[in-house]
Amino acid sequence: MALLTSIVLRQKGMKVRYVVDRMTMPDVARVIEIERLAYPSTWPPSAYRKELQDNRWAHYIVLRDKQIAEMREAVPSEMDRQRKPRPFPLSLLPNRPTVTTLSPDLNSIVGFAGLWLMIDEAHITTIAMHPGFRRRGLGEFLLVNLIDIAYDIGARWVTLEVRVSNYTAQNLYRKYGFREAGLRHRYYSDNQEDALIMWTEEIASPAYKQKFLELKTTLYHKLETQ
């Protein structure tokens, strides 16, 4: 298994703000928070835990903003100060501000993504950024990391389903060479929306590798300046 991007950058001695790591069980609470903000419907809370524990073909990653972690260590925020559990029954009163009990390192998670290897296809199951961190190239950074994983685990193609109305995500996928290959009718149970099925060409092809490298290089330059 090749090293993830963050680790490679760290080994080269670069100070990086955004770091991608493998998702672990303690990350799941924060992942679920972001999922609720990002998707109209969500997986059952147990799903990520099952994926991480039981699905050997699954690969899940989280994106951390190291600046958040560093700032919280230096100056505890009001939210941190409020973190003391409130005595019963005050905690049951309605309309109280939500006090998260997550550790600073968990709060630094701003996005996540995952895929399954199905024979020689890498099937992207999820990719989401916290709404406050969009349009900075970070969703793209997650996708790049997933495609790197796809190379690493020997996938020949990358595929996914996306809502027909989700032009934002479709733009991201098209940028990385995904093309429409069909529809799954009424795929999403919350509103019966159709899913577009999208595929890359063979990712080992010289043309795809070249395009991927160019896009990745441009993205890394962009992220370095943030």
Ligand X SMILES: CC(C)(COP(=O)(O)OP(=O)(O)OC[C@H]1O[C@@H](n2cnc3c(N)ncnc32)[C@H](O)[C@@H]1OP(=O)(O)O)[C@@H](O)C(=O)NCCC(=O)NCCS
Q: Which is nearer to ligand X, 4 or 198 (CB)?
A: 198
To the nearest whole angstrom, how small is the minimum distance from the Cβ of residue 48 to ligand X? 15
Nearer to ligand X, 99 or 183 (CB): 183
Q: How far is the CB of 188 from ligand X (least distance, A)?
A: 10
Smallest distance, ligand X to C-beta of residue 51, A: 16
Q: Between 4 and 196, whose beta carbon lies closer to ligand X?
A: 196
The residue with its CB nearest to ligand X is: 139
Residues forming the site for ligand X (CB under 6 A): 38-39, 127-129, 134-140, 162, 166, 168-169, 171-172, 175
Q: Is the four-CA dihedral 56, 60, 66, 71 of positive or negative sign?
A: negative
H or E segment and range at residue 54: helix 46-54
Query: Please, which residue, 95 or 171, has the CB nearer to ligand X?
Result: 171
- Residue (82 or 168) nearer to ligand X, CB: 168
What is the closest distance, in whole angstroms, from the C-beta atom of residue 124 to ligand X in the complex?
7
Q: 161, 146, 162: which is closest to 58 by C-alpha? A: 146
Find the shortest distance in angstroms from Cβ 28 to ligand X.
Answer: 17
Kindly state the smallest distance separating residue 113's Cβ from ligand X, in Å.
Answer: 8
Q: What is the C-alpha to C-alpha distance for residues 149 and 59, in angstroms, rounded to an integer? A: 8
Which CB atom, from 155 or from 162, has the smaller least distance to ligand X?
162
- Give 129 or 203: the residue with its C-beta nearer to ligand X: 129
Beta bridge partners of 122: 117, 158
Partners of residue 111 on adjacent β-strands:
63, 129
Least distance in angstroms from the C-beta of 189 to ligand X: 15
